[in-house]
Amino acid sequence: MEVLLVDPVSTCLSPTVHYMVCEAGFEIKSNCAISSIVSGNGDLYWGTITEHVQYGEPDQTLDYVGSVRSLGPLCESVHLHLQSLTMEQFEDQCLMWFQWTNCSEIFLELFDTVKSPHATAIALGLMKLTSCLERALGDVFLLLGKDCPFLLRDLLASQELATIFGQSVMDVLRVFIGSPRGLNLRNILWHGFASPQEIPIKYFSMLLYLTAGLGQLLKDYLLQTQSTFIHRPFVSFTNLKELHIFPDLNHEMLSLAEELAVKSNIVLRTMLPFWITALTSFRQSRYADCSILLLPQLESGLRLLFTKVNNCPSRLMTAESSSLYTTFDEMLAKQLRNEEINQLPLVLGESAIEFLWDFLNHQEGPRVRDHLSHGECNLNDFPREIAHSVLAFSITLLCRFSKDDLAAIKEHALLEPLMSCANCYCSQFHPVAQLKKQVLKCIKSINSWSDLPVVPEEQVQEVTESAKDTGDIPCIFLTADIFSQLQPYLSQNIKHLGDPVNNLLTEKLLTELCSKHIRILFCPRSVLEIVAVLRQISSQCHHVSCQVISACETRYKHWVDKSLRSRQRHNYLRMRRSIKFLSPVLQLILILITLELINIHTVCEKNASEYQQYLKFLKVILQYTENLVSYTSLEKNKWDETMELTHKGLLKIRTFLGKQLTLVQSAE
């Protein structure tokens, strides 16, 4: 990578935004008596605050600049008041009013920042405060509304919150955090535009007290309406082992990361304190703090790189209120707004972009920035695995885009395994990757059928003499026939597996197929639509397998206990016979959808008519598997009907394969 020459940048705030945040609220010099804002026992006088909100003529729209100017002295008074309190006094006055946020302990911790402020603590405190506040406001919204708005801007503009808190109160919040025309403190921090020294602490203190004041208003509303206030549960991060990707970061590596940050081309000098504090937070096991500080700086660093490689230096700044900020969404896209190719993915490479999409965007991934910034996860129980992976990845970027005088550091032995992991990363959460996981999980489940308990043959003979049931033979022949049609598309070491009916697929076979590389970045809509249907099919197959296992184990137990009636015993035996042909059928479907998956991009070559015909075929298979789930449930237990259903389904699959219209056939 060619070394980037970073021009001196003193701020990433546009002139208008910089004026609003750093100057407007300091223009009016006046002393506001704290007794007119806060009562002796800590109650907030909302009337004093709302009367300082300014509105334009003649339409009475919110005047953001005028409001910030007018509210500035009040913010200063509130800040000085908070500084004068001891922790005990603050807790006595405010603790109960923070309980509506469901994280009152976080707000008590934020008081330390008021007492002992330093730049990164103010920014970190504001990001945590706005995150927790947004989540709590969403809970309040649900007292009257159904679907909580995803964006804080829309939430604060909702009629539901205006009804509960009052429109003038919501206008106060919009001045501070709800609009790009106001202070917009949440967005300029969470998107990595504001440097530590650019956030006045008095705005932090004011928002801290406003949060307590909202708790007072909410209490009055709940008493008046006799409503019950319920908090939504926090998001739980799953599959944490999959998220632990890089080698452990020891003390030496963290020290090396500090050197890289100081001299990196993607770290602005004004932002360096955030990086240093993030590393310190990780050392101190404050994993939420580390991630909250690091994610905006990762965005800021990539934005700097984005503006360089796409030759658009003005995009480094916050946009004016009439246009959108340059955020992760645009930086990770295939094209720019002018439809030119975005150069950043080409510079970063496939593995880096897959990591960023995995951790930030994919719906089934951790979506760590969304969950953190919208207050959806418990800050006191944030997973080390996620913070570790984000930090380790960030270190690899610091290394890749460092100045040329860091050659010795780049060759450091500790960096080699880290860089190797980053360069080899493959998506874990893209729909294609998720389908591969589903297929392998399903085959494991089906393979376990062979371990299910079996009733001794002599006991079977006591129940029925019809052991020579041959109803499954057509299904067995059809399965073998379809498998023979798929044989040419399997690699040489997979072709000879013996009897395809008894050993159609093995875990080894599917593992080999699923190990094949598939392009996943910027997949066309048609590809994602087909993958979605394939995932539904796989999910239904797994559901069938789980039902078979559960039914067999339950019925066998009842057989042994002699608690099955005669009809139930016959039905259990029909089920045992049915799964002998059902297992290879399900495995056949798994190999078919996996072959289709590894040829998925061929679907882009089909015309509209062919595409619809192909989609219809997949939905036939999906319908079969959905019916199979219904028939094999413990409630219905329709095993004879299952055989008939399967025979019809196999005929349709064989017919379509005969037309040579599948993706694997088209690829050939």
pLDDT classification of 308: cutoffs 50, 70, 90: very high
**Residue 375 and residue 101: Cα distance in Å, rounded?**
10
The two structure tokens encoding residue 222:
């709940």
Q: pLDDT tens across 279-298, in order?
A: 999 999 999 999 999 999 99
Say whether pLDDT at 261 is over 90.
yes
Average pLDDT over the chain, rounded to whole? 90
Say whether pLDDT at 3 is over 50.
no
pLDDT of residue 464: 55
Residue ranges of alpha helices (H) inside 487-607 are: 492-495, 507-514, 525-561, 566-598
**Residue 615 and residue 537: Cα distance in Å, rounded?**
12
Say whether pLDDT at 495 is over 90.
no
- Proportion of the chain in helix, strand, coil states, percent, rounded to 5: 70, 0, 30
**44 by DSSP, 3-state: which?**
strand
pLDDT above 70: percentage of residues in the chain: 93
The two structure tokens encoding residue 442:
């399903």
More confident residue, 64 or 469: 64
Give yes or no for a contact between 229 and 143, defined as CB atoms under 8 angstroms apart: yes
pLDDT of residue 406: 63
Quick check: pTM over 0.85?
A: yes
pLDDT of residue 10: 87
Tell me how long the chain is.
Answer: 668
pLDDT of residue 459: 64
More confident residue, 93 or 325: 93
Q: pLDDT tens across 206-236, in order?
A: 999 999 999 999 999 999 999 999 999 999 9
User: Which of 114-123, 373-382, 496-505, 542-551 has the weakest average pLDDT?
Assistant: 496-505
pLDDT of residue 225: 96
Q: Which residues pair with 55 in a beta bridge?
A: 62
Burial class (CB in 10 A: 0-12, 13-18, 19+), 264: buried
Q: What is the DSSP letter of 314?
A: G
What average pLDDT does the segment 428-439 reach?
96
User: Which of 60-64, 364-368, 521-525, 563-567 has the weakest average pLDDT?
Assistant: 563-567
The two structure tokens encoding residue 288:
């939420």
Residue ranges of alpha helices (H) inside 404-456 are: 407-410, 415-423, 431-447
pLDDT of residue 466: 46
Other Cβ atoms less than 10 A from the Cβ of 254: the count is: 15
Q: What residue has token string 């402020």? A: 117
Give yes or no for a contact between 170 and 162, defined as CB atoms under 8 angstroms apart: yes
pLDDT classification of 581: cutoffs 50, 70, 90: confident
pLDDT of residue 467: 44
User: Which of 91-95, 341-345, 423-427, 636-640 has the weakest average pLDDT?
Assistant: 636-640
